Amino acid sequence: MDTEDSEILKFARQQNRVIVTQDLDFSELVALRGYARPSLITLRLFVSDPETITRTLRGGGYASD
């Protein structure tokens, strides 16, 4: 799926959702447009495969092997 950041941002604002991302562009878009929402959680993980991210978000942590 190749959804533009602006479309994801628009959907999140309309649905009152939180965006969880590793993409720093979302922070820039929210700041430049002066939006108060959506809330953003920007992940900066050394290991960024989907399984590790899911485990980390669920509170299981991750191994740095």
Summarised one tens digit per residue, pLDDT across range 16-60 is 999 988 888 888 888 888 888 889 988 887 878 888 888 878 887
Q: Detail the DSSP E strand segments found in the chain.
A: 18-21, 39-42
Residue 13 has pLDDT above 70, yes or no: yes
Separation of alpha carbons 51 and 39, rounded Å: 23
Contact 40, 18 (CB under 8 A): yes
The pTM of this model reads 0.71
Domain ranges of the chain: 5-45
52: Cβ contacts below 8 Å, ≥ 6 apart: 45, 62
pLDDT at residue 64 in the model = 54
| Residues facing 42 on adjacent strands | 21
For residue 47, the tally of other CB atoms under 10 A from its CB is 13
